Amino acid sequence: MSRVLVIGYVWPEPTSSAAGTRMMQLLKFFRNDGYEVLFSTTTRETENKADLDSIGIRTEKIKLNDPEFDKLLEEFQPDMVLFDRFMMEEQFGWRVDNMCPKAIKILDTEDLHFLRKAREIAYKKNEKAEKIYFNSDLTKREIAAIYRCDLSLIISEAEMKLLLSEFRIPKEILLYLPYLIENISESEYKDLPDFEERNDFISIGNFLHEPNWNAVLYIKEKIWPQIRKKLPEAKMQIYGAYATEKVYNLHDEKSGFIVNGQAEDSSEVMQKARICLAPIRFGAGLKGKLIEAMQNGTPSVTTSIGAEGINSELSWNGFIADSENEFIARAVELYSEKNLWRQKQITGFEIINSRFSKEQFESNLKSRLEEIKNNIVAHRRMNFTGEMLKHHLHKSTYFMSRFIEEKNRNRN
């Protein structure tokens, strides 16, 4: 049985974040394909973490700059190592190369962190993101990690295009792999609540993620007061994990702005809502909340950044609006017009079925991994830049790690 070691940035929390959902999809792919899977992470366990034992996945707590990780590699002998975000490759990649040089190294970027950060800075400074990310240390770090791996999984076509055209990364070390979703049948979507059975607007998202907090604040201050004037009976339902006091302080029964905290069942609350609002002004990757809205038959209004990478040439399952006034007008229109709402709902199902086919993209991943496994020497020879970056990282990281290990040993 082949073995895959996953080095997680955090414990997967599919009920809290899209990143958690993505990680669970990858873990289940490997399990269903017959791999023995070991999930490891440096972070503490959380109440919301997935029960990996129940799906046959062993877990291990690991530490940074600790030789015990080398022993884990020696004992487990993985055929593949999956790094959850580039920071994990920076910390542990050199140890994998030293202990298991034949193991295929896979990087799941989740989204391009340098792009998300550059867009946030650009938004706040009113500058172009390109000017920021080309001069960013974060960009250099993430791109270097991509080169050092045998394959990087890219969740958005827009990000694939950026890496191929702007950064000239070889296509052989990249694979477009969006969310892996089962097709929705006509009978399934006909069982969902209809227009008259739904009320209110919904916004949902993990509040540890800055774009989500920014969007909710924007709804509260700019979007919702105008919608409420036109739809005085409607409410704005806010859901999200890790809501802090500043989030709950937005709660206002009088204005119909309801902060609920984390939803026990996100599909249930999404199906009760008539419209999902996501005025996302910066970010990267695919917005899980909007895909989940489509799965649950909930049309949405979002921005160009919110929709990026999801619908391609297809119509949106609602509206894409980047100006404040248009966003408000479209939200009211979609909430009020039954026929339009039903038409947009069907469009959402079409997007899911044509753009996120679990069967198709799992097949693509399996084929690419087999191809790399059978031609690993030639594959790595083609990527000389990656081998060169490994050499320099290993020299610097090795000595720094050994220095920290010695300090920790003396302290104990």
Least confident range of 155-169, 280-294, 389-403: 389-403
Return d(Cα 52, Cα 300) in angstroms, integer: 32
**Residue 387 pLDDT:** 87
Question: What is the structure's pLDDT at 403?
Answer: 56
**Residues 337 and 387 grouped into a single domain:** no
Q: What is the mean pLDDT of residues 349-368?
A: 97
> Which has the higher per-residue pLDDT, 94 or 402?
94
- The predicted-structure confidence for 131-171, as pLDDT tens digits, reads as follows 899 889 999 999 999 999 999 999 999 999 999 999 999 99
pLDDT at 131: 86
Instruction: Using the 3D structure, point to which of 331, 355, 379 is the last residue of a domain.
Output: 355
Would you state the pLDDT for residue 202?
A: 98
When divided into structural domains, the chain yields a total of 2
What pLDDT score does 169 carry? 97
User: What does the mean pLDDT of the chain come to?
Assistant: 93
- Give the model's pLDDT for residue 190: 87
pLDDT of residue 402: 59
Long-range contacts of 86-91 (CB under 8 A, 24+ apart): 86/113, 86/141, 86/142, 86/145, 86/146, 87/9, 88/7, 88/8, 88/9, 89/145, 89/148, 89/149, 90/141, 90/145, 90/393, 90/397, 91/64
Q: Is the domain of 111 the same as that of 15?
A: yes
Quote the pLDDT of residue 400.
60
Residues 266, 365: one domain? no
| Of residues 188 and 371, more confidently modeled | 371
Kindly state whether residues 324 and 287 are assigned to the same domain.
yes
pLDDT of 248 above 80: yes
- What percentage of the chain carries pLDDT values higher than 70? 95
30 and 174, same domain (yes or no)? yes
Structure tokens at 56: 């046959």
Give the domain-ending residue among 355, 375, 392. 355
Q: Nearest 5°: CA angle at 121, between 119 and 124?
A: 105
Q: Are 109 and 171 in the same domain?
A: yes
Mean pLDDT confidence for 336-362: 97
Band the pLDDT of 349: cuts 50, 70, 90.
very high
Last residue of a domain, one of 334, 355, 376: 355
Q: Give the model's pLDDT for residue 297.
A: 97
110/284 Cα distance (integer angstroms): 9
Q: Is 309 left (phi over 0), alpha (psi -120 to 50) or beta?
A: left
pLDDT at 23 over 60: yes
Structural domain boundaries, residue 380:
3-181+358-411
Asked if residue 349 and residue 208 are part of one domain, the reply reads yes
Specify the pLDDT at position 247: 95
Residue for token digits 């490994």? 390
If asked whether residues 167 and 263 sit together in one domain, one would say no
Residue 401 is predicted with a pLDDT of 60
Grouping H, G, I as helix, E, B as strand and the rest as coil, residue 41 is strand
Mean pLDDT of 251-274: 96
The reply to whether 309 and 199 lie within a common domain is yes
pLDDT on residue 17: 87
pLDDT band at 412 (very low <50, low <70, confident <90, very high): low
| pLDDT score, position 65 | 85
State the pairing for strand pair 151-154/174-176. parallel
Task: Kindly state whether residues 172 and 285 are assigned to the same domain.
Answer: no
Do 233 and 341 belong together in one domain? yes
Please report, for the domain that includes residue 312, its CATH number.
3.40.50.2000
- Determine the average pLDDT of the residues in 310-339: 97
Are residues 213 and 195 part of one domain? yes
For residue 410, is pLDDT > 80?
no
